[in-house]
Each structure stands twice: as C-alpha cells, then as structure tokens.
Amino acid sequence: MDLVIVGFGVVGQGVAEVIQQKREFLHDAFRKKTRIVGVFDSSSYETNKTGLDPSALIKRKASKNKVGKRRYDGDAWRILGALEYDTLIEVTPTNIVSGEPGFTNIATALKSGKNVITSNKGPLALRFRELSDAARKNNVQLRFEATVGGAMPIINLSRELLRGEKILSIRGILNGTCNFILDRMMEEGLPFAQALREAQDMGIAEKDPSYDIDGDDSACKVAILANAIFGLDKKYSDVKKTGIRGVTEDAISLAEEEKKVIRLIGEISPKRLEVAPRLVRIGHPLSIGGTRNIVQIHTDLAGEITVAGKGAGKYETASAILSDLVALLNENKKSRVIRR
C-alpha cells in the first residue's frame, strides 16, 4: 500500500517511524509492501514512487527543519492530485475554526478515490457528514481512530467489534491535560493556576491552554463520537461545553468530603451531548487520575464496557493510525481473495 503523509510533526514522524519498525510485520501479514511515497510539512515536500526512507526523512526534518527538498506554499491538496498513492495520512494541526488545511486535503484525497487516515479533529468536528458522504460516494474509507483518545481504541471498537449491539451512551475522560490538573488539585491541594503551571512545566499543557481547559478538545471528540458511532450530524459547536477554569480548591475538598472527585466528562446520550466537570465517586472507573483517557460504552447486550489508554503522544497516536492502516490492509486482502 502506497502512503502519503501530510504533516510531519510529532504524529507524522511517529507514523514514519512505526511504518519502518513494523515493515516486516506488515509485509508478512498482508503480502504487500507498505511504502511512504510522499511526505509534506508546511513548506516542503518530497515524493518517490518506489518509496522514501523513513529514517532519512526524520533525519532531514531534524537537521534542516524541512522534510523535503521541494518547496511549496502549504496547499498540499494541489500537489496531491498529481500523485499516485492509495492512502493519505492527514496529520496537520487541528483547526476548529476553518478545519483547514485538513479539510481540503482530506476531501481532495477522497474525491480522487483514495482512502484517508487522520488524527486531525478539526475537519471531523466541523464537517463530518460532507467527508463521510464523499468517502461513501467514492467507495473509499475515511478512518480516524486517532482523533479520539490517542491509543485508546474506541471508534473501531464501537463501529466494528460492537457492531451488533445498540450503543446507548458513551461517557468518559477525553482530555488528559484536564484530568492531570484536576487530579493534582485534589492530591496536592493545589489551586487551579498552580496545577496548570505544573502541567505546563511538564509539557502536559500548552502555553495557551485554553483549547484543553475550556473543553474545546473534549467537545471536538464528543462531536466526532456522536457522528461516527451514533450516526448523528453534529458539529463541535452543538456540544454543550463547560471547562474546568471555575473548579476551585473548595469545590474539590467539598467533593472529597463526600468521597467524590471532579472529572471533566464528555457524554453522548440521547439526552445529552455535553462536556462538563462532574462529580465522580472515588473508586468509579471514571475517577482515574493522571493523563490517561477512559471511556465507558453502555450497550444493550454487553452492558458497560470500559476502555482506557494513553490519550496522546507520538507512538500512542501512531498506534491508533497503525490500527486504521491494518484495517485497510485487511480489507484489501479480503477483496483480493474475493477477486481471485
């Protein structure tokens, strides 16, 4: 399978490394070479029909801050049309206002009959229906396990393994940064500002933390889950959201006296599409601390299913992208067998 990677930051490089690392496995399992035939960052790109060397790309990016020798204006979609490949891996930054450049990159690939794997929440939290319709119309797949919960498998689990079940509701911790801050506030009795500063010093929170702590990131994930699993047509702005800025030390200690913790919970149920701080009983699965993500899926037959995992990180996110890639390769293998 020939891949083009657009975006060569933390995740893009992680994917390149993992493809190199899993080369033998992919070949043995699917009897097909998996090659990177194109790669883009914001200002440069490189292509090669016979495959690019992942470690050379990473080395070049580290030394020159450019992944390729060829320069361009950042509109990868213009170049994508002229390339021969099977699957686009779209891992440019999330933009929750316009969805770009991800939206146009993804739409261009789908319309020209290519599969897409992405970790970019913006296009899916803003224009999910358009993209999933384009994938269906062009008989290709749009896969996005990495957009929700990093390494924690939730989308493919719900859509594939739990397909026969009726999923009644999903709720969980979808942002590791907020969970870390709330956990530190309780464990150490820190005020919000100090716990946030600690998270920033440790590289867990961004310099501008608003996207995480105001609940935007979780709201994007709630919208994506609502669309992908419940078949709804929701945008990130349809999600009612309350962040964690207003959580005070008094609130945390009053909760603790009642044997509760405060957690930022995303909820998708027939009644609610919401991100809000909630009181969670200590010992309840959703009371976990640290930066992990955790989700409970409530179904008609299985009851409650709980999954947890690392919500972000280079290899964790690459792991989710690899799971999508393996699903595509599996599909390909099946259709090859049928054709024979």
Partner 1 sequence: MKVNADLRLKDVPGQLVFALEPISTNDGNIVGVVHHRDVVIGGHITVNVTFEVRSDRMLQRILDTWKERDIDVARMGSLYETFPIECLLVGDISSQELNNIMEEIEAMEDMESVDVRYSVSAASDGKAAIVFGKVRKKEAVERVERLLEERAADGGFLLVRGLGD
Ligand X SMILES: NC(=O)c1ccc[n+]([C@@H]2O[C@H](COP(=O)([O-])OP(=O)(O)OC[C@H]3O[C@@H](n4cnc5c(N)ncnc54)[C@H](OP(=O)(O)O)[C@@H]3O)[C@@H](O)[C@H]2O)c1
Binding residue for ligand X, selected from 6, 255, 268, 325, defined by CB under 6 A? 6
**Angle, helices 176-188/249-257, rounded to nearest 10 degrees:** 70
Size of the site for ligand X (CB under 6 A): 26
Binding partner selected for residue 276 from ligand X, partner 1, none, CB under the kind-specific 5 to 8 Å limit: partner 1
CA distance 129 to 49: 32
Residue 201 binds partner 1, judged by CB under 8 A:
no
What residues numbered 137-166 form the site for ligand X, per CB under 6 A? 146, 150
**Contact partner, 106, from ligand X, partner 1, none, Cβ < 5-8 Å per class:** none
The binding track of 272-301 with respect to partner 1, each residue x by CB under 8 A or -, is: ----xxxxxx--x-x---------------
Residue 27 engages partner 1 in binding (rule: CB under 8 A):
no
Among 20, 21, 22, 43, binds ligand X (CB under 6 A): 43
The footprint of partner 1 on residues 213-242 (CB under 8 A) is 242
312 binds ligand X (CB under 6 A): yes
Q: Please, which residue, 172 or 247, has the CB nearer to ligand X?
A: 172
Q: Which two tokens stand for residue 326?
A: 């393996």
Site string for ligand X, 248-287 (x = CB under 6 A): ----------------------------------------
Cα-based distances in Å from 169 to 117, 229, 245, 277: 25, 10, 26, 18
74, interface contact from ligand X, partner 1, none, CB < 5-8 Å by kind: ligand X
Per partner kind, with CB cut-offs from 5 to 8 A, the member of partner 1, ligand X, none near residue 73 is none
Nearer to ligand X, 210 or 248 (CB): 210
Question: Which listed residue (114, 121, 221, 260) is catalytic?
Answer: 221
Q: For the CB of residue 320, give the shortest distance to partner 1 in the complex, in Å.
A: 27
Residue 97: CB atoms within 10 Å = 7
For residues 78-117, which are near ligand X according to CB under 6 A? Answer: 91-94, 101
Total site size for partner 1, rule CB under 8 A: 24
Is there binding between residue 253 and partner 1 (CB under 8 A)? yes
Question: Which residue among 250, 283, 338, 339 contacts partner 1 (CB under 8 A)?
Answer: 250
Indicate if 334 belongs to the active site: no
Under the binding rule (CB under 8 A), the answer on residue 60 touching partner 1 is no
Task: Quote the CA–CA distance of 119 and 332 in Å, as a whole number.
Answer: 22
Q: Which residue has the tokens 């995303």?
A: 266
Pick what 41 binds: partner 1, ligand X, none; C-beta below 5 to 8 Å, kind-dependent: ligand X
- CB 179 to partner 1: min, Å: 15
Among 146, 215, 205, 203, which residue's Cα sits nearest to residue 177?
A: 205
| Residue of 7, 64, 71, 62 whose CA lies nearest to 39 | 7
- The amino acid present at 238, given as its one-letter code, is D
Q: For partner 1, give the closer residue by CB, 98 or 253.
A: 253
By annotation, the residues acting in catalysis are 221
| Residues binding partner 1 (CB under 8 A) | 171, 242, 246-251, 253-255, 257-258, 260, 262, 265, 276-281, 284, 286
